[in-house]
Structure 1
Amino acid sequence: MKSAIRMNSMPSKLSFGIIVTGLLAIFVLSAGRIYAVSSAQESSEGVTSFRPVHTYSIVARDSITGEIGVAVQSHWFSVGTVVTWAEAGLGAVATQSLAEISYGPLGLELMRAGKSADRALHALLRADDHPEWRQVAMIDASGQVAVHTGEKCIREAGHHVGDQYSVQANLMEKNTVWDAMAEAYENSKGDLAERMLAALEAAQKEGGDIRGKQSAAIIIVTGKSSGRSYMDRVVDLRVEDHPEPVKELKRLVQVNRAYEFMNDGDERVAMGDIKGAMDAYSKAMDLAPGNPEVQFWAAVTMFTEGNEREALKYFREVFRVDRRWVEVVRRLPEAGLLPADEKQIRKIMSVAPKW
């Protein structure tokens, strides 16, 4: 029965993709942005049957940093590949329920053409043969939010729109889930990732997806595009299949933050700011205690900058975890990352356990 529904209700390229491309052509020509049409056509040609991704999610914008994000959890494998879409300087989209995936890329294309989240969503809904099955939320770079919960979304289903955010859910155990998410988001502290995760945690605490939990994802992008998309993704993490996906996602966000401090430390070393680098490395180790990768590279920098005593302490801890790091030390001088001084290298090797 499910497969029949999915086949019969699939938006055709003619009824959805081509109509949307036509809408984009009008919008883009009026904005003088002809190149976006070809991108939209490529997206529309990839339209496939929609996925039964029943879930809860949040789209939000940080009013201070301008960062824009989308986060989700579901009892569906690899939910992030379907629901979460975001691009720096444009906005974010969550497309779920009996999800039409192309709402994600096409919604972003419409925002690229200068449309607000509200106008982008309404354009796509008008072109959709089955808006009654969709649950879609969009937020643009200005913080304007648009959301739609179709009347045929499986109950309990609904949404809550607040100041520069929206939470939405369907097939929930209780009809109080989205309000619990809103309250948690509004009352939590921290950066955008922490507040969005608080909303997901509140949803699960309220009962969450009636089927259980399986995967989760979070994307956060900068409010303004640098023109280099790889630099504009602040957070881009997915938990594809896990018994506690939000807990695991929260752990990964913390590890991600630790590596951001590591990268910051490396950049400060390159600029000659050794004190700043050591501070960044210290923060990284606090966030990822016992992580040998973080400890090792911090130790390398400490050693090369003359802080041998502290460096040897961390080298010792790393070598205890895995003796192969000793071989890494041997290889670094030829790469210019440790002094090409045999006496100095032996000093590092001397703290390795005697296996």
Structure 2
Amino acid sequence: MKSLNFIFILFLSQIVCSQVYKSSEPLAHTYSIVARDSVTGNIGVAVQSHWFSVGSVVTYGKAGVGVVATQSFVNPSYGSKGLALMEQGLSPQQALDALLATDNGEMFRQVAFLSTKGEVATHTGSSCIEAAGHRQGKNFSVQANMMLNNTVWDAMARAFETTKGDLSDRMIAALKAAQAEKGDIRGSQSAAILIVKGTATENSWEDVVMDLRVEDHANPVQELERLVKVQKAYDFMNKGDLAMEAGDSKMAESLYLSAQNLFPENLEMKYWYAINLLNNKEFDKAHPILKSIFEQDMNWKTLTSRIVKNKLLIISDEELSKVMKL
């Protein structure tokens, strides 16, 4: 404990300066959730607000460390400094307390910290605009300010706790529950979701699981939900590409089909699924799919002849000729 206190005092002396409310600070009155997936260990933060590009203001996260939502009269330093303090070994509560203690505008702040262990710390300042409040639960915290109704955070908590699915599904459900309670008194404009791994890898580019923003939209939560679904489809596509690289066309076919099921209107997903059907000599299944694609866009037929050279398509000249006549 003495060593932790020493780190705490030393680190504060290096990075924490007096923080005050400034009229120039973003007014991100909003609702948000910070949460951990107990199965995968992934941690995330999601938010909606009647404010342009709320994700660039409110959400912060670092794999192997934690996530932060800083809102109301936003002090962005809670994001970077909060993560830095947690990375030094402070708990979310210790990190949040340290920053609040040096902030003359703490009564205007609403902030939530979550660690990779699922520990949470939340602050709703006494001068946050009503309706404002928060609720903590196992592996999560939900918080909101300037809401039309004071039922928002309880509804968010219930939705997160009862929804089945992965972390993104459950956080989106929390945002939708807030909207169902009428949400932000001003309406909707932007939304964002950030998910990072609970354990950092040696490759920082692999540490971000999801980072999606809806900067300006009439129905930002609905659009964010759509983008989450699209990303999941492309995640299957990426895995399918890797399977193709490895020469496992059966696995690639399965992965591309999973992508197509999530995003059926996407021609590229249909195309690569059909290409793998050809590689697996399932010509009767592949031909009608490719014929439909070629009728919509002839460029895919041109591409088909080119990928033979790269050995992404491995079929006989006779079979290729049949495909090119579709």
User: What TM-score comes out, normalization by structure 1 length?
Assistant: 0.83
Which of 262, 272, 289 lines up with 1:287 in the alignment?
A: 262
Which segments of 5 or more consecutive residues in structure 1 lack a partner in the other structure? 1-22, 30-36
Which of 224, 234, 247 lines up with 1:259 in the alignment?
A: 234
Query: Where do 1:74-223 residues align within 5 Å?
Result: 74-223=49-198
Task: Kindly state the Cα deviation for residue 235 of structure 1 after the two structures are TM-superposed.
Answer: 1.4
Task: Kindly state the Cα deviation for residue 115 of structure 1 after the two structures are TM-superposed.
Answer: 1.3
Answer yes or no: is 1:26 the counterpart of 2:10: yes
Task: Give deviations 1:332-355, integer Å, cap 9, x for gaps.
Answer: 23444335965444322222xxxx
Separation (CA, whole Å) in 2 of partners of 1:184 and 1:123: 31
Task: Kindly state the Cα deviation for residue 215 of structure 1 after the two structures are TM-superposed.
Answer: 0.7
Separation (CA, whole Å) in 2 of partners of 1:259 and 1:81: 23
User: What TM-score comes out, normalization by structure 2 length?
Assistant: 0.90
Query: Where do 1:230-309 residues align within 5 Å?
Result: 230-309=205-284
Paired amino acid for 2:56: T
**Cα pair distance change 1:178/1:27, threshold 3 Å:** same
Task: Kindly state the Cα deviation for residue 237 of structure 1 after the two structures are TM-superposed.
Answer: 0.9
Paired amino acid for 2:187: G
Paired amino acid for 1:76: W
Match of 2:27 in 1: 52
Match of 2:308 in 1: 333
Which of 183, 186, 203 lines up with 1:228 in the alignment?
A: 203
Contact 2:64–2:197 (CA<8 Å) still a contact in 1?
yes
Contact 1:334–1:340 (CA<8 Å) still a contact in 2?
no
Match of 2:299 in 1: 324
**Cα pair distance change 1:275/1:324, threshold 3 Å:** closer
Paired amino acid for 1:153: C
Separation (CA, whole Å) in 1 of partners of 2:322 and 2:79: 55
Separation (CA, whole Å) in 2 of partners of 1:317 and 1:71: 39
Separation (CA, whole Å) in 1 of partners of 2:104 and 2:305: 64
Name the count of aligned residue pairs.
317
Task: Kindly state the Cα deviation for residue 107 of structure 1 after the two structures are TM-superposed.
Answer: 1.1
Task: Kindly state the Cα deviation for residue 324 of structure 1 after the two structures are TM-superposed.
Answer: 2.4
Task: Give deviations 1:149-190, integer Å, cap 9, x for gaps.
Answer: 111111111100111100000000001111111111111111
Task: Kindly state the Cα deviation for residue 282 of structure 1 after the two structures are TM-superposed.
Answer: 1.5
Separation (CA, whole Å) in 1 of partners of 2:101 and 2:137: 25
Contact 2:244–2:312 (CA<8 Å) still a contact in 1?
no
Separation (CA, whole Å) in 2 of partners of 1:71 and 1:112: 21
Match of 1:9 in 2: none
Contact 1:94–1:138 (CA<8 Å) still a contact in 2?
yes
Greater helix proportion? 1
Task: Give deviations 1:242-277, integer Å, cap 9, x for gaps.
Answer: 111111111111111111111222223333433332
Separation (CA, whole Å) in 1 of partners of 2:284 and 2:187: 50
Match of 2:3 in 1: none
Paired amino acid for 2:301: V
Paired amino acid for 2:236: F
Match of 2:4 in 1: none
Separation (CA, whole Å) in 2 of partners of 1:347 and 1:78: 50
**Cα pair distance change 1:248/1:82, threshold 3 Å:** same
| 168-177 or 127-136, which deviates more | 127-136
**Cα pair distance change 1:25/1:272, threshold 3 Å:** farther
**Cα pair distance change 1:336/1:269, threshold 3 Å:** closer
**Cα pair distance change 1:263/1:78, threshold 3 Å:** same
Contact 2:49–2:189 (CA<8 Å) still a contact in 1?
yes
Separation (CA, whole Å) in 1 of partners of 2:24 and 2:102: 16
Task: Give deviations 1:188-229, integer Å, cap 9, x for gaps.
Answer: 111111111111000000010010001111111111011222
RMSD: 2.4
Separation (CA, whole Å) in 2 of partners of 1:278 and 1:331: 20
